[in-house]
């Protein structure tokens, strides 16, 4: 009889091997590639989710992020009533970032595309943190895999959806004036956050912005007649609306007593450090719009392109995020639950199962 000794768990172990329908590790020493594909749930259709390209301290950290974000994509598609499941992938950055269009970068994403192609359409990648439209084109053209976000950036549509969400929350709290006269703090003014700030300003809000690129933040603040604040201070600034559009998990149990905004609605994934933060926010009188509801504009636009929607149809579908937020907030008030729980109950109904709380 052959005795098989199980490997000793290490920090490089896959974080939660049964957390997703499939968790696939990808390796190619020729191009220096390490990647993880997590396909969370395909109840509603093939798993669609972006490709992150960044450094990770361990395989476990990379796998955990892929699985966590894939689960969020399941919720996002379910709430947006889209025919996709949840998935996500991460490509581990080891060393300097290869320049766009460089042979090294193209070889990396071509080989990753070949790995994606092996999923036989169960996973469809798109752009995410650290990846570009041209990377999706390489996955498609050189790797032979289906890819979304390969022609049009979803960022402006994500921003439009976040704006619709925060405006709906403001109407729920203050009446039909929307954001007019309110103070909005946007943390992170990259391609999405910058547009969120502009849309809020256009609606009459006074805008304060924060970004690790202080020059970029100052330029936008000057353009909008607003102010800047340090990124770490942004969640605690005096404001009506806090829009986290950068790092995840900015709302912790320890931070909640210091948050002065009455509404939290932004583009960042995983705004809450732990699910119980939702109840703590409700107890503090802070309206939290679940991030997977607010930031769905990009995936709605992608589906609109696949389905052949007109521009008007796509924008109307993105704007319905505001309607959806209004309904969730009304349900939360009526049933005495958090907006997060209201959203998760909708996801339960769409998926035919109870999603993790």
Instruction: Name the nearest CA neighbour of 342 among 355, 329, 351, 354.
Output: 329
The count of structural domains within the chain is: 2
The answer to whether residue 190 sits within a structural domain is: yes
> Which residues are the active-site residues?
88
Is the domain of 53 the same as that of 122?
A: yes
Distances, alpha carbon 164 to alpha carbons 140, 183, 196, 236, in Å: 32, 16, 10, 23
Is the domain of 75 the same as that of 159?
A: no
The answer to whether residue 70 sits within a structural domain is: yes
Is the domain of 179 the same as that of 117?
A: no
Is the domain of 90 the same as that of 227?
A: no
The answer to whether residue 191 sits within a structural domain is: yes
**pLDDT value at residue 191:** 93
Two structure tokens written together for 252: 């912790």
**pLDDT value at residue 5:** 37
The answer to whether residue 6 sits within a structural domain is: no
The answer to whether residue 11 sits within a structural domain is: no
**pLDDT value at residue 7:** 37
Per the CB < 8 A criterion, the answer to whether 338 and 332 are in contact is: yes
CA distance 64 to 264: 25
**pLDDT value at residue 79:** 98
263 pairs with which residues across the strands?
241, 287
Q: Which residues are annotated as a binding site for NAD(+)?
A: 188-193
The answer to whether residue 9 sits within a structural domain is: no
Per the CB < 8 A criterion, the answer to whether 48 and 306 are in contact is: no
Domain boundary among 91, 118, 142: 142
Q: What is the CATH number of the domain that holds 297?
A: 3.40.50.720
All residues at 6 or more sequence positions from 186 whose CB lies less than 8 Å from its CB, including other chains: 193, 196, 197, 200, 207, 208, 209, 210, 234, 243, 245, 266
**pLDDT value at residue 86:** 98
Is the domain of 122 the same as that of 170?
A: no
Domain around 81? 22-142
Is the domain of 69 the same as that of 185?
A: no
pLDDT digits over 9-43, tens only? 344 556 677 889 999 999 999 998 899 999 999 99
Collapse the DSSP code of 339 into the 3-class scheme (helix H, G, I; strand E, B; otherwise coil) and give the result: helix
Below-50 pLDDT ranges, the chain: 1-11
Is the domain of 277 the same as that of 337?
A: yes
Domain boundary among 84, 110, 142: 142
Two structure tokens written together for 85: 């499941």
Is the domain of 125 the same as that of 183?
A: no
Instruction: Name the nearest CA neighbour of 92 among 107, 112, 74.
Output: 112
The answer to whether residue 81 sits within a structural domain is: yes
Domain boundary among 142, 164, 193: 142
**pLDDT value at residue 335:** 98
**pLDDT value at residue 149:** 82
The answer to whether residue 10 sits within a structural domain is: no
Is the domain of 172 the same as that of 247?
A: yes
Q: Which residues are annotated as a binding site?
A: 188-193
């Amino acid at each position: 009889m052959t005795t098989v000794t199980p490997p000793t768990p290490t920090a490089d172990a896959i974080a939660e091997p049964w957390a997703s329908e499939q968790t696939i590790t990808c390796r190619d020493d020729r191009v220096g590639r390490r990647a993880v594909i997590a396909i969370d749930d395909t109840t509603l259709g093939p798993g669609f989710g972006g490709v992150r390209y960044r450094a990770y301290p361990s395989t476990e950290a990379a796998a955990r992020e892929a699985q966590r974000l894939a689960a969020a994509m399941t919720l996002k598609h379910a709430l947006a009533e889209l025919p996709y499941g949840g998935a996500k992938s991460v490509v581990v950055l080891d060393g300097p970032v290869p320049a766009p269009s460089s042979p090294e970068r193209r070889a990396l994403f071509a080989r990753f595309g070949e790995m994606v192609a092996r999923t036989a359409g169960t996973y469809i990648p798109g752009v995410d943190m650290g990846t570009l439209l041209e990377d999706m084109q390489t996955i498609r053209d050189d790797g032979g895999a289906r890819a979304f976000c390969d022609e049009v950036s979803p960022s402006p549509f994500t921003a439009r959806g976040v704006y619709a969400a925060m405006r709906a929350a403001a109407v729920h709290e203050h009446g039909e004036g929307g954001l007019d006269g309110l103070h909005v703090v946007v943390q992170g003014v990259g391609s999405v956050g910058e547009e969120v700030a502009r849309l809020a300003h256009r609606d009459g809000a006074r805008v304060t912005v924060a970004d690790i690129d202080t020059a970029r933040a100052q330029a936008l603040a000057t353009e909008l007649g607003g102010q800047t604040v340090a990124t770490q201070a942004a969640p605690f600034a005096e404001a009506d609306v806090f829009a986290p559009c950068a790092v995840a998990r900015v709302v912790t149990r320890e931070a909640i007593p210091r948050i002065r905004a009455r509404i939290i609605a932004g583009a960042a994934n995983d705004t809450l450090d732990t699910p119980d933060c939702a109840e703590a926010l409700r107890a503090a009188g802070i309206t939290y719009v679940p991030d997977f509801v607010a930031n769905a504009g990009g995936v709605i636009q992608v589906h609109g392109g696949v389905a052949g929607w007109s521009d008007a149809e796509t924008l109307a579908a993105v704007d319905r995020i505001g309607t959806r937020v209004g309904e969730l907030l009304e349900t939360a008030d009526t049933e005495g639950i958090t907006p997060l729980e209201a959203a998760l109950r909708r996801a339960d109904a769409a998926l035919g199962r109870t999603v993790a709380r």
